[in-house]
Structure 1
Amino acid sequence: MTLTCLWHSAPCYYPTGYGVQTRGFAHRIAVSEHDIAVVMTTINLGIEWEGILHLPGGKEPFSIEGVLEWTRRLKADIVFTLFDVWPLPENMGELINRMGAKWAPIAPIDHDPIPQDVLKRLIHADYPIAMSRFAEREMKRVGLEPIYIPHGVETNVFKPVQPDKSMFAAEDMFMVGIVATNLEPMDRKGWKPALDAFGKFYQKHPNSRLYAHCEPSRADSGYDLAAIASEYGFKVYTPDMWQLVGNGIPSTRMAQIYSTFDVLLMLTRGEGFGVPLIEAQACGTPVIVTDFTACSDLVGAGWKIPITGKRWTPMSSWWAEPDVDAAVEALEEAYDLWEKGELEKKFKIKARAFAKAYDFDVVYQMYMAPFLERVDGEIKAEKSDERSGQAPSEHSGQRGVGDSGQGDKPKKKRKRRR
């Protein structure tokens, strides 16, 4: 049986974290035996991009209207949603079931514990998908039956390449990099603690540079990074803003940037996954990251930074407060190894080997492909039950199709989209 899949997230061509994951999974599903279309979280006109049909999400916030309408029109078998679930209707799973499809939310869990507003939606999911081991543990703790499918990285692109410190005027300097968005007033990405840590480190090591891959001003409701840096007397190097907000920085260029870092610094307060951690390690670069939520399981080469406390958020749960002094110590250790010429020798091979477990092809073959096969089998079994007049069996992870009250949905044969 060929499954008809809808993927609700950023479009494939968006140079964002969600866009990259959409592209990686959608292309692999498209070349398998299944059909896929992307329902965009935008009101853009529909297009076909690299053989993948992209459909407009409609005018409602978070494209809820579009998801339900395209589920009905395309007679979808399964709907993946890749972004926060808390903005969705609490009964989103039931609404999708009424359209004749299963719901598989790939839900970021970036708080500890899992927020109630997230849980209230996931209990209506047929297949709640955990993108991290932390999310998997949290979902199981509250009684869900998650499917673990981590995010992926194209390790044939993100790989060690020749560093070019001249791009940062840092030929003989220790290079620290941060790759994160800067658009949240509550600073989930941890810009303030990260710049505080680097600032303290810089006082002792002025032969160091900091590159921040983001919009460095308050234009997107984030922090004024230059203002924070001025308190410590250092400069923040940033990308070409017009390129960043235009077509984005090409992945090959990002691989060179990661390879130029001596260490990636990521003092996040909470992450659903943390793709830059894997991208950096795929390029052989060690990482310094907060030991909290998803990040705790994503360090193959580097340092985990303890927390000094937690911050209550509007989601009625907790983010972390990373230990700035411990981060300074980690930077000192990395600098000492760099100065001795031992940093690359200690971490490069180890980092690369760890990251390859998250290669998109590996993730797809180990986790996504078996999951789609499972869904295919369960839908076949349910249809067989219905034809024989039996009550639908409890085949799905969270709930049987009978819970939604749906009957056998018609499905016409269509040409496969490529």
Structure 2
Amino acid sequence: MSNNFDKPKQVPTKLRILWHSVAPWIASGYGKTTREVCARLPKYGFQPFISAYYGVEPGGIPPYHIPVLPSKDGPFGMASAAQYCKQWGIDVGILFTDWWAFSDFPKTIPRATLYGPMDHINYSEETMGFTRKYHKIIGLCKWQQKCLADLGIDSDYIYHGVNVNVFKPIDKEEARKKVGITEEDTFVFGTVAANSDKEDRKGHTRSMKAMRYFLDQNPDVKNIIWLYHTVPNDPKGMPLASISHKFGLDNIIRFMDPRTASTMLPEEDLATLMNCFDVHLLCSKREGFGMPILETQACGIPNICHDFSSMTELVQGHGWLCKSLGYGLNLETTPINAETASPDVYDIANCIKDAYFN
């Protein structure tokens, strides 16, 4: 869609909102939430404008009844977003993404509101300096609210949600037939996670090491399938097919078809895949929220996750939390000059054992 169009003469709204994030059709937590939130705002009399710094090009036709504007000027489309605010008389600008990369947002956007994930601790003084300039901050979980409160920053929190008309329990046998699992008496682990970081943020290698250790300690276990919904050889990520081979998991792990990567699965098919699982294994180093955790839970599937960041409150009492190695001087500093924890591989293996035998 071109950004050279006239402002409508009359729009009966209470508030005009610029939502700066990725395009609503992107198959990620950001894309899904952008779609689910912005599609509902007009029902309450608000006019959203999606400022998409990723996933839409000029000339595209948005399949929604709300403007999806291509933001290409300036770092992460910030110059475009500022211009849209002037052009459309925006009252409130909401940033929904990794906010640490958008230092100018609170300076250039009216009533700048942050609704974004915090998944590290001990952020740099520079990052927290521009964070304090937001008109309003809304976190994604209680953990984030507490981290901000410890720094003297007030915030609210609103959990993400999932469409329970799509993500819901269905017959496990039927689901497995649909995805081609023909083996009987099979225990299915599943992992739904991106593979787009050179830093192993999603903990792929630690989970694979843990599975190898569990199998070595329990040689009679022969009936495991691990459905691994990620792109195994994404050049931006880890060489997961090679890593899986190194740990002797070729006969267990079934990666998604790489040809699916460009479009990803429709949500209905993803829900069917999740219903095949007995357990969802996602031991990320950190999560800002973790949509696949909530989606699998909505399908009635328990999770094994890392006892850190948002994962603790999402999983506690509804699955297994593996111990964290990240305390004190053992925290790892990441490229954004903040610190993160890592899950204990041996305890991931213990959680796998408990899930399998119990």
TM bracket, shorter-chain basis: 0.7 to 0.9
Residue 329 (structure 1) shift: 1.1
Aligned to 2:30: 18
Residue 11 (structure 1) shift: 1.2
Aligned to 1:289: 305
Contact 1:288 1:303 in 2 (8 A): yes
Cα distance in structure 2, aligned partners of 1:267 and 1:115 = 25
Larger Rg: 1
Residue 124 (structure 1) shift: 1.0
Aligned to 1:62: 76
Cα distance in structure 2, aligned partners of 1:190 and 1:69 = 39
Cα distance in structure 2, aligned partners of 1:191 and 1:54 = 34
1:143-154 equivalences in 2 (<5 Å): 143-154=152-163
Unaligned 5+ segments in structure 1 are 338-418
Contact 1:47 1:55 in 2 (8 A): no
1:163-178 equivalences in 2 (<5 Å): 163=172, 164-166=175-177, 167-178=180-191
Give the secondary structure class of the aligned counterpart of 1:211: strand
Unaligned 5+ segments in structure 2 are 1-12
Give the secondary structure class of the aligned counterpart of 1:198: helix
Cα distance in structure 1, aligned partners of 2:160 and 2:72 = 27
Q: How many residue pairs are counted as aligned between the two chains? A: 330
The one of 193, 204, 207 aligned to 2:206: 193
Aligned to 1:32: 44
Would you tell me which structure has more helix in proportion to its own residues?
Answer: 1
1:113 aligns with 2:128: no
Contact 1:286 1:301 in 2 (8 A): yes
1:227 aligns with 2:242: yes
Give the secondary structure class of the aligned counterpart of 2:44: coil
1:17-416 equivalences in 2 (<5 Å): 17-42=29-54, 44-45=57-58, 47-89=61-103, 91-96=104-109, 101-163=110-172, 164-166=175-177, 167-203=180-216, 204=218, 205-217=221-233, 219-235=234-250, 236-246=253-263, 248-299=264-315, 300-309=317-326, 310-337=331-358
Contact 2:232 2:258 in 1 (8 A): no
* Per-residue CA distance 1:267-290 (angstroms, 9 max, x = gap): 111111111111010000000000
What is the aligned-residue identity percentage? 28
Contact 1:86 1:117 in 2 (8 A): no
TM-score, normalised with respect to structure 1: 0.75
Aligned to 1:347: none
Stretch moving more, 206-215 or 167-176: 167-176
Contact 1:200 1:232 in 2 (8 A): no
* Per-residue CA distance 1:220-274 (angstroms, 9 max, x = gap): 321111222223322221222222312x201111111111111011111111111
User: 4+ residue runs of structure 1 moved beyond 6 angstroms?
Assistant: none
Code of the aligned partner of 1:70: Y
Code of the aligned partner of 2:95: T
Residue 12 (structure 1) shift: 1.2
- How well do the aligned residues superpose, as a CA RMSD in angstroms? 1.7
**Cα 1:245–1:168, aligned 2, differ >3 Å: closer, same or farther?**
farther
